[in-house]
Structure 1
Amino acid sequence: MIDNKNFFLEDEHGGDLLEAQKKYKDVSEWIDLSSGINPHPYKDFKLAKSIYNSLPSGQAIRELLSAAAVYYKLKDDSSIIAYQGAQGLINIFPYIFSEIKKKKVQVYYPTYIEHYKSWVNAGYTIKLIDSFEKEIDPSGITIIVNPNNPDGKLFNKDALIVLQNRIQEKNGLLIIDESFMDPTPDEKFNYSIEKKNLIIIRSFGKFFGLPGLRLGFAFGDHKYINQISNFIGPWPISSSSIDIALKAMSDIQWIKQTINQLEILSKDMELTLNAINIPIIGGTLLFKLVKFEDAGKIHNLLAKDGIWTRKFIYNNNWLRLGIPKDRVELNYLFNSMQNILK
């Protein structure tokens, strides 16, 4: 177990291709595999030119939340809110729940570093845990990313229910970040309104390939969702986010086809990496975590070939690769890695 390691505060994100372009000026074309975003975004929408001429209506927001509740298979009386991305929710949580200010914050690691940063920056002391069966204090705040980022670990659903029951009994708070869950909906936490002391975070942009919309959702215990709603105010998301997400989350055919497409792309990537003996530590249908003796060196050499990947300051053996959008990109990745590893 590791407590309060500063390297989590120093780690960098993927997705900022401009930084790569500044550093590797000789590269003219890029394949961005750094962020774990669906490379085939939802495109079946048109925005009216007047969409930004007025504030989002309460009715429009309610319609989106109803569509999201159906998409996430929630019951009609479930509490759900929308905000500016899953990251936006992660940022504000430490400042909302004032009654738990003195409680321990426990984050399952290694994981998405912003869960650590947001609470540390708000003045909390963080305990990093690698097992929630025994290590946690159920009266505190426990944060789990499922599937986990960056290794894609899926937690046992029954074990999570046992954990939630323990936390509810001790009046703690369980936060489950399911930002990468959309391609594997059968693995989601089986939420019902009887389950208290629980918040589940979902990301819209990752699966639908539209991270620039900055849209995320949270649902769970009415007490906490109501506090979040009061904190974020009456117009938490844009009119364009509402219009696009309302259509996308209701497009059942596109959703099914996209899951199938990602399954094929993911399998092809696994076969390609196996063919050149690159160890796959884990992953999801949107990214793979691979292992090298010096991942930082491989990251740099791939960048010189125009492939941008995600490295980790806290583990120089890890490299995360998003799913290439087609066989052309996958073959280019294969050839580049094969040449590097000769």
Structure 2
Amino acid sequence: MATPAAFLGHGGRLGAARAAWPNAPTPWLDLSTGINPRPYPVPVLAPEAWSRLPDPESLRALERVAAKAFGVADPARVVAAAGSEALIRLLPRLLTTARVAISARTYGGHADAWKVAGAEVVDARNSTADLRVLVNPDNPSGQALPPGQVLALTDGPLLVDEAFVEVDPALSVAPLAGAPGRERLAVLRSFGKFHGLAGARLGFLVAEPALAARVRQALGDWPVCGPAITAGLAAYADAAWAARTRLRLADDAARLDVLLRQAGFEIVGGTTLFRLVRAADAPRRFEALARAGILTRPFPWDETLIRFGLPGPQPDWLRLADALENLR
């Protein structure tokens, strides 16, 4: 049983899922993305957030608040953009890089972006590359390297995608990125995954000031919408919510582990926002879950793997438990 190609590149393909399985029960339960299902409670938006162009000072304020949350001493090194994906696509057009080392089994958007820009993408272990890209914690394996190991990977330019690092901030090398002596280190941070607000499209680059200035210039005057700025200002200043959320995610991930093991899956990786599991008949299981209106994430390099995000409200947990019970 072949998994439809539409689901092998990214999660969140609900439109394709509705088309592929039109008789599936609705609403769909989307577990394919690894986004926090209990989002940050965004404050009520002032009408001006929608009706006016974002004020440049509010954007700078967002970058200052984000810098503090990331442990970055100089906010000039922090650049806000409309999602880390926008930065992933932009950086290859700004940097003169002929050969980039990226794992073949990590988030595929990095390799795609560098290939489109004309760079040669080589194995992550290739020591002749002009730039190395690391996703830490990795997506989808969840493998996480401590800062010392990250910094020891290369003496050359290193771009670290920390999209899932909010679950364990101690792993982050963002405080060092672009600082004196670390000019070759740059970091990407994502707002939407941990805060459960992927629709806000907000992400950040942390880099040395000259590169940060080039990125700001390339992004233009209004790189982030007003509602996203409002959400980011509130969420990054709310350390108590973040601490509570990390504890809840750990509990929910453990609860998901129990369900997955009972269904016969082997847990082979993940973070507290998602679990990577293996089953010999994973394509059949992906299809069966889809027919039950539950979308998960398969992978092109290994058909035995599936990634599960966390359910949110109790009815979603019960729905997943029932569907997993029917797999056995």
When residues 10 and 247 of structure 1 are mapped into structure 2, their CA distance, relative to the original with a 3 A threshold, is closer
* Structure 2 residue 257 is the aligned partner of structure 1 residue 266: no
Partner of 1:149: 139
CA drift of 1:77 comes to 5.7
Matched position secondary structure for 1:51: helix
Are 1:337 and 2:320 matched, yes or no? no
Q: Report 1:31-70 matches (<5 A).
A: 31-70=29-68
- What is the alpha-carbon distance in structure 2 between the residues aligned to residue 77 and residue 125 of structure 1? 33
Structure 2 counterpart of 1:292, from 269, 273, 279: 279
Q: Is the Cα–Cα contact under 8 Å of residues 39 and 323 in structure 1 kept in the other structure?
A: yes
How far does residue 250 in structure 1 lie from its aligned partner after superposition?
0.7
Report what 2:168 is aligned to: 184
Distance 1:43 1:182, change over 3 A: same
How far residue 295 of structure 1 moved from its aligned partner, in angstroms, is: 1.9
- Identity value in percent: 30
> What corresponds to 1:127 in structure 2?
122
Distance (whole Å) between structure 2 residues aligned to residue 296 and residue 95 of structure 1: 37
Residues of 2 paired with 1:56 and 1:176: CA distance?
29
SS of structure 2 residue aligned to 1:82: strand
Task: Give the aligned partner of residue 4 of structure 1.
Answer: none
Query: 1:1-342 residue pairs with structure 2 within 5 A?
Result: 11-29=8-26, 30-76=28-74, 79-97=77-95, 100-101=96-97, 103-129=98-124, 131=125, 135-137=126-128, 140-164=130-154, 166-167=155-156, 173-189=157-173, 191-192=175-176, 193-194=179-180, 195-341=182-328
What root-mean-square deviation, in Å, do the aligned CA atoms of Structure 1 and Structure 2 show? Answer: 1.9
Distance 1:323 1:40, change over 3 A: same
Q: TM-score, normalised by structure 2?
A: 0.92
- Give the deviation of 1:190 after TM superposition: 5.9
Contact 1:90 1:114 in 2 (8 A): yes
Question: Any conservation in 2 of the 1:10–1:313 contact (CA below 8 Å)?
Answer: no
Whole-Å Cα distance in 1 between the matches of residues 115 and 6 of structure 2?
Answer: 9
> Are residues 44 and 156 of structure 1, via their aligned partners in 2, closer, same or farther at CA, if it must alter by over 3 Å?
closer
2:73 aligned partner, one-letter code? K
The residue type equivalent to 2:152 in the other structure is V
Change (3 A) 1:272 1:28: closer
- C-alpha separation between the residues in 1 aligned to 2:161 and 2:42? 27
Secondary structure of the 2:102 match is strand
What's the CA shift string for 1:116-165, capped at 9, x where partnerless? Answer: 11111111111022x4xxx323x61110100000111102321211225x
**Alignment CA distance shift 1:201-1:158 (3 Å):** same
Range that drifts further, 279-288 or 22-31: 22-31
For structure 1, list consecutive stretches of 5 or more residues without a partner in the other structure: 1-7, 168-172
- Give the count of matched residue pairs: 320
In structure 2, list runs of 5 or more residues that go unmatched: none
Tell which deviates more after alignment, 152-161 or 320-329: 320-329
SS in 1 for 2:275: strand
Q: What is the alpha-carbon distance in structure 2 between the residues aligned to residue 60 and residue 151 of structure 1?
A: 37
1:9–1:117 CA contact under 8 A, matched in 2: no
2:214 and 2:281 map into 1 onto residues whose CA distance is: 45
